[in-house]
């Protein structure tokens, strides 16, 4: 069973995941930034094991930035990343955000496109020597079924 846990700012488990995946695996030097303390940080647990993380930053009243999406190596290609996006999007809607932006590593484009994100400018930029593109998505409230 997958269980989401949100905190304001990265929890110790979120930090451990981000350090292992971004800093150790991908050799990111500047993983933590000034956006972390006020962000919504998510950790997904599978049988009490932290398996994935992501964060949501409010840019303005209607716009949020999803980032730092990471899944432990042994849990990749099992749709866990899709759960991270779904839970972050649900949290965004809960707090009034309807426009999401993110900066996708170019090799992850198909993943984000499958989740409904579209390329905003097509301009490639480099973050930590890795090519990225800006992507976006408009979120819609799900209609609840009548009982």
Domain locations in the chain?
Answer: 2-138
* Chosen CATH of 2-138 out of 3.40.50.300, 3.40.630.30, 2.40.50.140, 3.30.70.980: 3.40.630.30
What helix, strand, coil percent values describe the chain, rounded to 5? 30, 35, 35
pLDDT, one tens digit per residue, over 40-80 is 999 999 999 999 999 999 999 999 999 999 999 999 999 99
- 147 residues of the chain, pLDDT tens digit each: 889 999 999 999 999 999 999 999 988 888 889 999 999 999 999 999 999 999 999 999 999 999 999 999 999 999 999 999 999 999 999 999 999 999 999 999 999 999 999 999 889 999 888 899 999 999 987 766 655
pLDDT, mean over the chain: 92
């Amino acid at each position: 069973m997958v269980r989401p846990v949100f905190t304001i700012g990265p929890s110790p488990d979120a930090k451990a995941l981000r350090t292992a995946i971004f800093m150790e695996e991908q050799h990111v030097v500047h993983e933590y930034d000034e956006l972390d303390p006020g962000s919504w940080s998510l950790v997904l647990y599978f049988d009490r094991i932290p398996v994935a993380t992501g964060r949501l930053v409010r840019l303005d009243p209607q716009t949020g930035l999803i980032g730092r999406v990471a899944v432990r190596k042994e849990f990749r290609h099992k749709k866990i990343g899709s759960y991270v996006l779904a839970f972050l999007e649900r949290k965004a809607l809960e707090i009034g955000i309807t426009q999401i932006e993110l900066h996708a590593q170019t090799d992850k484009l198909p993943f984000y496109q499958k989740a409904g994100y579209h390329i905003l400018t097509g301009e490639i930029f480099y973050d930590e020597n890795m090519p990225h593109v800006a992507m976006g998505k408009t979120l819609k409230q799900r209609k609840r079924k009548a009982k």
